[in-house]
Chains A and B, each alone.
Chain A
Amino acid sequence: MDTLLFSSRSIWTMLHGIVLGGGGLLAVAAALFAMIAMRTTPPGDAAAAQSRYLAWLLVATSVLLWAAVLAGTYVSFPAYRAAPPEGLTDLSAYPRELIRSNPATAWLHSFAMESKEHMPWIAAMLATGVAFVASRYREQLMHDDKLRRIAVGLLTLTLMLVAGVSFLGVLINKVAPLE
């Protein structure tokens, strides 16, 4: 009898956490670094090309974060919060109930997952705002110190949020993986 190596909900969880969330984390870190590093590029062809790449990177960041948020909320989360049948003692297929059944791990739901329900949406909104500005203003964003400072501030908050919720997701998945 064939045994599937990964269930569909496990694949969705990996897609949500590693491909989309991990990709978004890498992309926002790269965009933040680029935005800081490129401020010294003098106006000209090089700056125009670099600002075009930065705009595309930020658009990709936003797309990845929105995809991670939507897949997490509408695909992985329902599987996580599914209610077990009455009287079931093996809760391994029901992550939320498994976590809540042990006082030592209950915080992974009450703090970690409840934070993960909302924080990533904030990150996606911030990244989208910065991506819009980078796409519309291109080189002007790199050389307008005031605008760039706001963008760097919002991207820094985005990076902190994405890194934080990613870490919480790893902790939850270590204790109660969606398999």
Chain B
Amino acid sequence: MSTRVPSSGGLPNGAALAAFAAAGVGAFAMGLISLLNATGFLPVPTLYGPAGGVTGRTTLAVLIWLIAWGTLHRQWKDQDLETGGVHAAAIGLTGLGILLALPPVWSLFE
């Protein structure tokens, strides 16, 4: 990740890029966990019986999102970074996460 000097004298953009990138990581985690769970590769425990396995899958994805956000925020918050890579990663990971969370995609791996 290359850094650049802030052009406008505002806040460094690192914290914003950390939030965007982490959102992409969380979306991808949600899709990947739902796929791996549906295909039997990743048994995730149920956290609330009446609602079933979705409680474990979604909680795990949220934890991954928050950990990714905290880690990236700590690393980047005082830096001013190039946005191109994070833009592509955030949109790409989110799109991939949405795709992997679609039930018809699960059947391709069963």
Among B8, B69, B90, the most chain A Cβ lie within 10 Å of the Cβ of: B90
User: What does the 1/0 interface line of A147-172 toward B look like (CB < 8 Å)?
Assistant: 10111011001000100000000000
Interface size on A, residues (CB 8 A): 38
Contact flag A119-B98 (CB < 8 Å), given A125-B26, A154-B90? yes
User: What does the 1/0 interface line of B69-95 toward A look like (CB < 8 Å)?
Assistant: 100000000000001001100110011
Give the CA-CA distance A168 to B14 in the complex, in Å: 37
Contact flag A118-B34 (CB < 8 Å), given A77-B54, A154-B23, A157-B94? yes
> Is A129's CB under 8 angstroms from B87's CB?
no
Contact flag A121-B61 (CB < 8 Å), given A133-B19, A137-B11, A137-B16? yes
Instruction: Confirm or deny: A81 has a beta carbon within 8 angstroms of a beta carbon on chain B.
Output: yes
> Is B20's CB under 8 angstroms from A115's CB?
no
> Is A150's CB under 8 angstroms from B20's CB?
yes
CB distance from A66 to the nearest CB of B (A): 10
B residues in contact with A150, CB < 8 Å: 16-17, 20, 83, 86-87, 90-91
Contact flag A147-B13 (CB < 8 Å), given A119-B101, A154-B20? yes
Q: Which of A8-16, A20-28, A44-52, A138-146 contacts B (4 or more CB under 8 A)?
A: A138-146
* The one of B19, B57, B65, B91 that contacts A132, using a Cβ cutoff of 8 Å: B19
* The one of B57, B69, B87, B103 that contacts A115, using a Cβ cutoff of 8 Å: B103
Which chain B residue shows the least CB distance to A141?
A: B16
CB distance from B23 to the nearest CB of A (A): 4
Instruction: Confirm or deny: A7 has a beta carbon within 8 angstroms of a beta carbon on chain B.
Output: no
Instruction: Confirm or deny: B5 has a beta carbon within 8 angstroms of a beta carbon on chain A.
Output: no
Interface of A is mostly: helix
* The one of A118, A136, A147, A161 that contacts B83, using a Cβ cutoff of 8 Å: A147
> Is B20's CB under 8 angstroms from A122's CB?
no
Which chain A residue shows the least CB distance to B47?
A: A74
B residues in contact with A77, CB < 8 Å: 51-52, 54
> Is B65's CB under 8 angstroms from A125's CB?
yes
Give the CA-CA distance A74 to B49 in the complex, in Å: 10
B residues in contact with A117, CB < 8 Å: 34, 54, 57-58
CB distance from B95 to the nearest CB of A (A): 7
- Residues of B whose CB lies within 8 Å of any CB of A are 8, 10-11, 13, 15-17, 19-20, 22-23, 26-27, 30-31, 34, 48, 50-52, 54-55, 57-58, 61-62, 65, 69, 83, 86-87, 90-91, 94-95, 97-98, 101-104
- Residues of A whose CB lies within 8 Å of any CB of B are 69, 73-74, 77-78, 81-82, 110-111, 114-115, 117-119, 121-122, 125-126, 128-130, 132-133, 136-137, 140-141, 143-144, 146-147, 149-151, 153-154, 157, 161
User: 6 pairs across A/B with beta carbons < 8 Å?
Assistant: A122-B27, A125-B27, A140-B8, A144-B13, A150-B86, A154-B90
